[in-house]
Amino acid sequence: MVILYFFVGFLATCIGAIAGIGGGFIISPILISIGTFSISTIGVLSSSTVLTMSIVSTIKQLVNKGKYEVRTTSLLIIGSIIGGIFGSDIFKYAVRSFSNKSMVEFIQSIILAIVLIFVLYYMRNKEKLRTYNVKNFIMCILIGLLLGMISAFLGIGGGPLNVAVLTIFFSMDTKSCVRNSIVMILFSQSAKLINIAITSGFVGMNLSVLPYMIVGGVVGGIVGSSVNKKISSENIVKLFDIILILMILVNIFNIVKAII
């Protein structure tokens, strides 16, 4: 069984690294489809794997001296931390509120399907979409908050959504989007997990497969990054499209499963 979860972490981050969008949005719906763990456990497993990958990626960015626009990045980080806490609290409230835990899976799957459809629309129409250059202090924090809240509630990194939103609202180039997305994921998922640790804790969660998922995630990220350098941008875009469509279908399956 542990081999299965190693490969979930490996394949998700490998595919995500090849496409340049991380693997968090793959891990959570796949774990829901497998159905072995509770929705709370899935959230922690997914967030922890995503957090580990964001730490590795941030270290690589710092070693490579990746540049950040300090004011904008700082405000997005502040928003992400607040959003990570809010998203975690909303998730815990949802779990407590529904006696049928499948309802939480149902809600998560619907929201994630909508998010992925938006990202797919963005990818196919990004050349036509108007972009902005938001500088307002409050707006920067609110955008970070919203993205952090969504990623924490869904237990995903949010890479594809982050990149789309940062491009539209801040007119960032792809590399800047990826750099900012990674640090936002790092802080939002850290805030979520710390919030869980100091409030409800991890009691009752079966986290036995977490080390295997983390190792799989790190190895997958390394392998995927190497493959990414060897294939054309056109093929990367095609792969991204295919993965998005497949994950939309997986979420639709999870929606139907939750209803039945």
Residue 22: pLDDT band by 50, 70, 90 thresholds?
A: low
DSSP 197: H
What is the residue whose two structure tokens read 């969504």? 150
Task: Decide if 225 contacts 80 (C-beta within 8 A).
Answer: no
Task: Collect all residues with Cβ–Cβ distance below 8 Å to 197 and sequence separation of at least 6.
Answer: none
pLDDT tens for residues 28-40?
A: 999 999 988 988 9
DSSP 38: -
Tokens of 176: 């800047």
Residue 144: pLDDT band by 50, 70, 90 thresholds?
A: very high
Task: Collect all residues with Cβ–Cβ distance below 8 Å to 76 and sequence separation of at least 6.
Answer: 140, 141, 143, 144, 147, 180, 183, 184
Task: Decide if 167 contacts 131 (C-beta within 8 A).
Answer: yes
* DSSP per residue, 114-152: HHHHHHHHHHHHTTTS-------HHHHHHHHHHHHHHHH
Please give the Cα distance from 21 to 108 (Å, whole number): 20
Residue 255: pLDDT band by 50, 70, 90 thresholds?
A: very high
The reported pLDDT for the residue numbered 147 is: 95
Find, among 76, 98, 93, 54, the residue nearest to 196 by Cα.
Answer: 93
- Is pLDDT larger for residue 123 or for residue 229? 123
How big is the CA angle at 9 (ends 35 and 121), to the nearest 5 degrees? Answer: 85
pLDDT tens for residues 70-122?
A: 899 999 999 999 999 999 999 999 988 987 778 999 999 999 999 999 999 98
The reported pLDDT for the residue numbered 21 is: 66
What is the residue whose two structure tokens read 């998203």? 87
What is the residue whose two structure tokens read 């979930």? 8
Q: Which residue intervals of the chain are DSSP H helices?
A: 2-19, 24-34, 39-63, 70-97, 102-125, 137-154, 159-170, 174-198, 210-228, 233-259
Please give the Cα distance from 21 to 47 (Å, whole number): 15
Q: pTM, whole model, 2 decimals?
A: 0.89
